[in-house]
Amino acid sequence: MKEKKILFVFAHPDDETFTSGVTICKYAAEPDVSIHLLSATRGEAGKPGDPPICTMAELPAVREAELRKAASILGISNVEFMGYRDKEVSHAPLDERVQKITEAIERIKPQIVITFAPHGISGHPDHQAISEATTRAVQALPAGSTTQKLYYVTHAAEQRFGVASPPHTDPIENITTIISAPAYVSQVAQALTAHRTQHLSVNRVFPGVLQGDTTYVRSVNHFILVGSPHLKAADGEKETDLFSGIAT
Ligand SMILES: [Zn+2]
């Protein structure tokens, strides 16, 4: 029986694979854990590829299909959409965004919710808007809610993200939780490849992955446990299990 649940709340198809790929694979492989993904948009303002894989009119459906394929490769069992348009998440009323996320949490009943750090790593306004709304939703949950932990996914300032240096990172001493799962790098590479329309950004950040070279695919993901400054610790003392301390 799948008693443990993690809900990822992101903005666009591919955010899950770029930021949290090996972490999703690692927990999806555990028999009692199920992984859920709530995506604010279908990435309809993204690029359709070069040469284009589809028309812009077809892009939302194509990117939804790409996300569902990547999700099945990573082991995500449930993908839902909030129905916002790409690049317009921050235009929607905050209360409405919070309500949609709250409803998903109440329905799915995850012990753990994970979203972007407030800076959004890339700084995309959709990433920042979804971080703000998810934070508010979790912090307003009633006592006795199944949700016991909120994590921000981020990236350590001192380390490369593939071959990229994201505009927003966090110093390593602020990172509470490091999930290292190199066994799942090839699965993440397959999921990156499934986001076919995004081949330009996939290739820019993880060069060679579309040709089967996994050298730059991330084997480690970085998280900050929200509201737990006591977990700030030296490198050897980081939390290494998202479910540590959680009662199910
Ligand atoms: Zn994104």
> DSSP letters of 60-104?
HHHHHHHHHHHHHHHT--EEEEEEEPTT-GGGS-HHHHHHHHHHH
Domain extent for 172: 4-237
Burial class of 121 by CB neighbour count within 10 A (0 to 12, 13 to 18, 19+): buried
What's the CA-to-centroid distance between 204 and ligand 1, angstroms?
15
Would you state the pLDDT for residue 229? 52
pLDDT > 90? residue 1: no
Looking up residue 44, the CATH number of its domain turns out to be 3.40.50.10320
In a domain, 116, yes or no: yes
What's the CA-to-centroid distance between 41 and ligand 1, angstroms?
9
Q: Report pTM.
A: 0.96
Q: Look over the chain and give the mean of its residue pLDDT values, rounded to a whole number.
A: 95
Q: Which of 160, 153, 197, 187 lies closest to 70, judged by CA?
A: 187
Percent of the chain with pLDDT over 70: 96
pLDDT > 60? residue 49: yes
Distance CA 221, CA 117 (A): 13
Would you state the pLDDT for residue 245? 87
In a domain, 246, yes or no: no
Tokens 């240096």 sit on residue: 165
Would you state the pLDDT for residue 152? 98
Domains identified in the chain, total number: 1
Would you state the pLDDT for residue 218? 97
Say whether 57 sits in a helix, a strand or coil.
Answer: coil
Average pLDDT over residues 37-65: 97
pLDDT > 70? residue 234: no
In a domain, 95, yes or no: yes
Q: How confident is the model at residue 115 (pLDDT cuts 50, 70, 90)?
A: very high
In a domain, 248, yes or no: no
Tokens 């959409």 sit on residue: 81
What's the CA-to-centroid distance between 15 and ligand 1, angstroms?
5
In a domain, 111, yes or no: yes
Would you state the pLDDT for residue 247? 77
Torsion of CA 124, 80, 20, 74, to 10 degrees: -140
Q: Give per-residue pLDDT as tens, 152-204.
A: 999 999 889 999 999 999 999 999 999 999 999 999 999 999 999 999 999 99
Q: Within a 13 Å sphere around the CA of 48, how many CA atoms are in the beta-carbon half?
A: 13
What's the CA-to-centroid distance between 46 and ligand 1, angstroms?
9
In a domain, 27, yes or no: yes
pLDDT > 60? residue 107: yes
In a domain, 229, yes or no: yes
Q: 151-155, 205-209, 244-248: lowest mean pLDDT where?
A: 244-248
Kindly give the residue spans of alpha helices, DSSP state H, lying in the chain: 15-28, 59-74, 94-108, 125-139, 185-194, 199-205
Q: What angle do CA 28, 29, 31 make, to 5 degrees?
A: 95
Q: Give per-residue pLDDT as tens, 61-90.
A: 999 999 999 999 999 999 999 999 999 999
What's the CA-to-centroid distance between 67 and ligand 1, angstroms?
12
Query: What order of strands is seen across the sheet that includes strand 33-41?
Result: 78-84, 33-41, 4-10, 112-116, 149-154, 220-225, 177-180
